[in-house]
């Protein structure tokens, strides 16, 4: 077993949490991610595995949000699957075994910073960040969009006051700064 320590996307040893009266911003460092794309002509086989894993193939613009494993739509026949990192450090290998030649699987755990926005001002804050109709979205809606020139996934979570934002990991500091300024703006 190696002894290399990870750092979080924001550069800390532990995830960062910022608490305001109206909002809490949590760096979520606990998810492992991998993208799954159906192979040409093998879509049915891919759907079958997805169904087994998630109960349902996530539809266009939708996420399936279970307690541990989740999956969301990225594009045509392409999904991002997530699971707790502690148990799924090797998520890509684990998924590849399940999907076989039905899908291309790519490890994405290091590619994203995951920031959860929780609190009553979540919709106000979202309105200052991106062109997503947050108030019309329902739990499980997901959209890829731009936040201050950064391509991000915006996921409406099960809790009515929670939003998950996945942004490019290298821009974590910029994205976090954008969230913090939006939080103070909407205080």
Partner 1 sequence: MIINHPLLGQRDSSEFTYLGDAKLIERPDPDSETATHDFYKYAYLRDNPAGWHKELWFHEAGDRSWLVVTRNTLTHEISKVEMARDVAREKGRRR
Partner 2 sequence: MIQKNRLEGGQIDTATLLKFKFDGKSYVGHEGDTLASALLANGVRLMGRSFKYHRPRGVLSAGSEEPNALVQLRSGARQEPNTRATTAELFDGLVAKSQNRFGSLRFDAMAINDRFSNFLTAGFYYKTFMWPKTFWEKVYEPIIRKAAGLGSLSLLDDPDVYDKGFLYCNLLIIGAGPAGLMAALTAGRSGANVILADEDFTFGGRLNSETFSIGDDSSAVWAAEAVAELSSFPNVRLMVRTTIIGAFDHGIYGAVERVSDHVAIPDAGKPRQIMWRIYTQRTVLAAGAIERPIAFENNDRPGIMLGSAIRTYANRFAVAVDKSVAIFTNNDDGHRTAADLHAKGLKIAAVVDVRANAPLSMDFEVLQGQVINTKGRLGLTFVDVKLSDGTIRTLDIGALGMSGGWNPNVHMTCHQRGRPRWNESLAAFVPGDTLPNGMIVAGAANGDMSTAGALHGGAQAARVVLGLKGSMPKLPTAEDAPIRLTPFWYVEGCSRAWLDQQNDVTVKDVKLSHQEGFRSVEHLKRYTTLGMSTDQGKTSNMGGLAIMAELAGKTIPEVGTTIFRPPYTPTAIGALAGRNRGQDFHPKRLTPSHKWALEQGAVFVEVGNWMRAQWFQKDGETHWRESVDREVLATRSSVGVCDVTTLGKVDVQGMDAANFLNKIYCNGFAKLAVGKTRYGLMLREDGIALDDGTAGRLANDHFIVTTTTANALPVYRHMEFVRQCLFPDMDVQLISTTEAWAQYAIAGPNSRNLLEKIIDQDVSNGAFPFMSCANITICNGLRARLFRISFSGELAFEIAVPTAYGDALIRKIMEAGAEFDVTPYGTEALGVMRIEKGHATGNELNGTTSALNLGMERMVSEAKDSIGSILSRRKGMNRADALFQMGVKPLDLSDDVPAGSHLMNADGPVDAAHDQGYVTSACYSPNLGHAIGLAFIKNGSNRIGEKMRLVSPLTGVDVAVEIVSPHFIDPQGERLRA
Shortest Cβ 151–partner 1 spacing (Å): 4
Of 47-76, binders to partner 1 (CB under 8 A) are 60-61, 74-76
Angle between helices 91-99 and 43-54 (to 10 degrees): 130
Contact with partner 2 (CB under 8 A) among 57, 81, 117, 175:
175
Q: Kindly report the length of the chain.
A: 187
138 touches partner 2 by CB under 8 A: no
145 touches partner 1 by CB under 8 A: yes
- Phi and psi angles of residue 111, each rounded to the nearest 5 degrees, phi first: -85, -15
Cα(138)–Cα(161) distance, rounded to whole angstroms?
Answer: 11
138 touches partner 1 by CB under 8 A: no
Shortest Cβ 145–partner 2 spacing (Å): 9
Q: Per-residue DSSP letters for 31-97? A: EEEEEEEEPTT-HHHHHHHHHHHHSS---TTBEEE-SS-EEEEEETTEEEEEEETTT-TTHHHHHHH
Residues that bind partner 2 (CB under 8 A): 1-9, 11, 35, 37, 39-41, 78, 90, 101, 104, 106-112, 127-128, 130-133, 135-136, 148-150, 168-175, 177-178, 181-182, 184-185, 187
């Amino acid at each position: 077993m190696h002894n290399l320590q990870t750092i979080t996307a924001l550069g800390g040893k532990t995830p960062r949490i910022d608490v305001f009266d109206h909002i809490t911003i949590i760096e979520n460092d606990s998810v492992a991610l991998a993208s799954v794309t159906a192979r040409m002509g093998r879509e049915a086989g891919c759907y079958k595995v997805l169904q087994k894993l998630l109960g349902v193939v996530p539809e266009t613009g939708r996420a399936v949000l279970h307690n541990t494993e989740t999956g969301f739509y990225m594009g045509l026949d392409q999904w991002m699957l997530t699971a707790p990192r502690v148990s799924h450090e090797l998520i890509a290998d684990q998924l590849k075994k399940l999907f076989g030649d039905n899908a291309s699987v790519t490890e994405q755990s290091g590619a994203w910073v995951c920031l959860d926005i929780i609190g009553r001002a979540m919709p106000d804050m979202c309105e200052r960040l991106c062109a997503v109709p947050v108030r019309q979205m329902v739990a499980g809606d997901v959209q890829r969009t731009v936040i201050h020139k950064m391509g991000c996934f915006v996921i409406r979570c099960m809790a009515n006051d929670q939003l998950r934002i996945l942004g490019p990991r290298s821009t974590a500091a910029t994205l976090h700064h954008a969230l913090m300024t939006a939080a103070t703006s909407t205080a």
